[in-house]
Amino acid sequence: MLPQPIAEEDSAIALTPAVQPHMPWRVASVEPLPDYRLHVRFLDGLEGVVDMAALIASPEAGVFAALRDIAVFNQAFVRLGAVSWPGDLDIAPDAIHGAIKASPNHECGV
């Protein structure tokens, strides 16, 4: 029996590109505004303002109650195409994209 060549390391990892979210409703940038509002721009170029004041003040705010602290709210950033905050808190980008797109003035509440 002839000796078998030693298997080389699996180079598939080197060929796999980094994950890049390309869905049009993925968030490209976010900027906190006064009164618990966010200016959001999406990968497809759509942009608008999301008013989160009613949600945050609501008794049903749930995890979003943490954003009542304006210092926490103002820490909004983009992670994996979604508006996020420290503590693994985020808001569904497809939902806010749809709401902004449906609004004639590109402002909506959530």
CATH of the domain at 86: 3.30.2020
Look up the domain containing 45 and give its range.
Answer: 30-109
Cα 88 from Cα 86, distance rounded (Å): 6
Q: Return the pLDDT at 7.
A: 47
The verdict on residue 89 lying in a domain is yes
The verdict on residue 4 lying in a domain is no
Count of domains for the chain: 1
The verdict on residue 18 lying in a domain is no
The verdict on residue 23 lying in a domain is no
Query: How much is the average pLDDT of 44-66?
Result: 95
**Global pTM?**
0.76
How does residue 18 score in pLDDT terms, banded at 50, 70 and 90? low
Looking at the chain, list the stretches that DSSP marks H as alpha helix, in order from N- to C-terminal side: 12-15, 53-57, 70-73, 93-102
The verdict on residue 13 lying in a domain is no
